[in-house]
Every structure is written in structure tokens, then in C-alpha cells.
Amino acid sequence: MSASSEGLKAAGAAKPGQSASARQLFPRRPLAIIRRRYLASFLSVAGGLALWELTSRFLVANALFLAAPSEIVEAIYNLARSGQLWRDVGISAAEFALGYLIADVLGIALGLAMAASATTKRAMQPWVSGLYATPVIALAPLFILWFGIGIWSKVVVVISLVIFPVAINTEAGLRTTSERLIEMLRSFGATRAQIFYKVSLPSAVPFILAGLKLGIGRGLIGVVVAELFGSRAGLGNLISQSADAFNMPDLFAGVIVLAIAGIVMTAGFGWLEDRLVPWTHD
């Protein structure tokens, strides 16, 4: 038997679940990886949309209560063709992006400060716990009164909703760093900066990314709620006007666009997590 045929037999005998060395020698094909990761999600979404379409067509007698997915797609197309959708998406995206980025920077800095100093944590803990539990959305009218109906009132609402999950997750990630590993590095003469960049920060990255992903949903909620209370444009304004006019397709169009934005951004952070902390995934 030739060496090539023996190699083919070995390749056929090796299975992905046998051992780590086997997985390295015979990696899964890209198609198999895509099927394993995304097939269930695709079937779930397709089944849900089909059930939604059938329910709205045959079980809901009044179209004012529920719009079919086909009607929503048509509404999105009409809004995009008229230019209204792009204008509203651009305004809401600017409000979200500015507030989200500011909240991320402040939240990570606050989490680092709380993890670095027990005194700082004791001083900030009542504020973080209290404000995180406070329904900040109820303060949206007050923010609009202070900052007007322009972009900054929405940015402040987004910041107030996003900053605390990021800070709490950052602090928790840094606190869970192995003390034995830190002591070992200290025994070898490592400085505080080396310990932070080589050990503490890498171990906290999964927690930080989890906080950033939690902030996506809270930030989108903040944008919509702030626009519902006072705005001339934006997806929240589109949803509010559509609800007043009992226009269910346009209302659901705004909701679906927000949902798609959340899915895309969360998937982006999932991709980033695969690159930064691949050891957390199989």
C-alpha cells in the first residue's frame, strides 16, 4: 500500500471529536463550521417569520393589531425609496454611536478605577448600584428639558443606560484575575504595568465584551425612548407617528430595523470576541 493511500485512510479515520491533535491535523471544513454555527439560527428565524405571516393572515382579523412580515418588507422598501428611512436611521445612528462610545470609554475607566482601588470601589459602589437600578428611562423627559430636543438629550439617555453595565463587567473581570498567577509574576519581578497588560487585562476582555454587548440593547432602547418623548426625526419618532396613525407596517418597520441593527452589532462583537479571546469558544 502506498504512503498516499495510508495518509488518506488516516485522514478518514480521524474524527473531529477524537482529540485536540486530531482536530489540528484534520480541521473542520468551512462549510461544516458555517452549518454548525448558523443553520439552527437560520431555521429558527425562517420558522418564526413563517408562523408570523400565517398568524397575521389567517388568525388576526383586524390588521390594526398586527402586520404581516410581507407588509413590513413592503413598508421598509417604500420608506427607503422615499428617503425617510435613511434620514431616520442616520439620526438615530448618530445619537446611538455618540452616546455608546462615550459610555464605553467612561464605563471602562470607571471599572478600572474601581478594580484598582478598594477605596474607590467603596466610594462609587452606592452610586453605581443606585443609578443602575434607577429607571433612567423615566428621567428622559427631564434630560430633554435640560438639553432640549436636539441630539444631546438622546446622547445623555444612552450614556446613562450603557455606562453601568460596562463598568460593572469591567470591574468584575479584573477582580476575577487569578491571584496565584499575579503572585507568581511578582515573584519573577514583574511590574504592575506588566501584570496588568499581560494578565489582568486579557482575563477581563471577555467580561468587558459582555458588558459592551449588554450596552447595545440598552443603548437602542435609550435612543427610541428619548425620541418618543421629544424628537423631530429618528426611528423613535417614526414609531411614534406610525402608532398615532395606526400604521402597523411602518411601526413594525422601525422596530425591525432596530432589531436588525442590534443583531448585526452583537454579531460584530461576537466576531471580535472570537479574534481576541478564542480560548472561550470551542
Same structural domain for residues 159 and 87?
A: yes
Same structural domain for residues 75 and 11?
A: no
Same structural domain for residues 126 and 175?
A: yes
**DSSP 8-state symbol, 199:** I
The upper half-sphere exposure of residue 81, i.e. CA atoms within 13 Å in the direction of its Cβ, equals: 6
Question: Which of the listed residues 43, 59, 75 is the one where a domain comes to its end?
Answer: 59
Same structural domain for residues 227 and 144?
A: yes
Task: Quote the domain boundaries for residue 7.
Answer: 1-59
Residues 203/176, Cβ–Cβ less than 8 Å: yes
The CATH number for 214's domain is 1.10.3720.10
Same structural domain for residues 215 and 248?
A: yes
The type of residue at 138 is A
Same structural domain for residues 81 and 193?
A: yes
What number of other Cβ atoms are within 10 A of residue 93's Cβ? 14
Same structural domain for residues 88 and 51?
A: no
Same structural domain for residues 77 and 34?
A: no
pTM of the full structure: 0.77
Same structural domain for residues 55 and 71?
A: no
Same structural domain for residues 139 and 174?
A: yes
Distance CA 85, CA 255 (A): 12
Structural domains counted in the chain: 2
pLDDT in tens, the chain (282 residues): 444 444 444 444 444 444 444 444 445 566 666 666 677 778 888 888 888 888 887 777 666 778 888 888 999 999 999 988 999 999 999 999 999 999 999 999 999 888 888 888 888 888 888 888 877 777 888 888 888 888 888 899 999 999 999 999 998 888 887 777 777 777 777 777 777 777 777 888 888 988 899 999 899 988 988 888 877 788 888 888 888 888 888 899 999 999 999 989 988 888 887 787 766 655
Residues 182/191, Cβ–Cβ less than 8 Å: no
Distance CA 145, CA 149 (A): 8
Same structural domain for residues 165 and 39?
A: no
Phi-psi category of residue 54: left, alpha or beta, with phi > 0 → left and psi -120 to 50 → alpha: alpha
Same structural domain for residues 34 and 90?
A: no
- Closest-CA residue to 219 (of 174, 271, 164, 159): 159
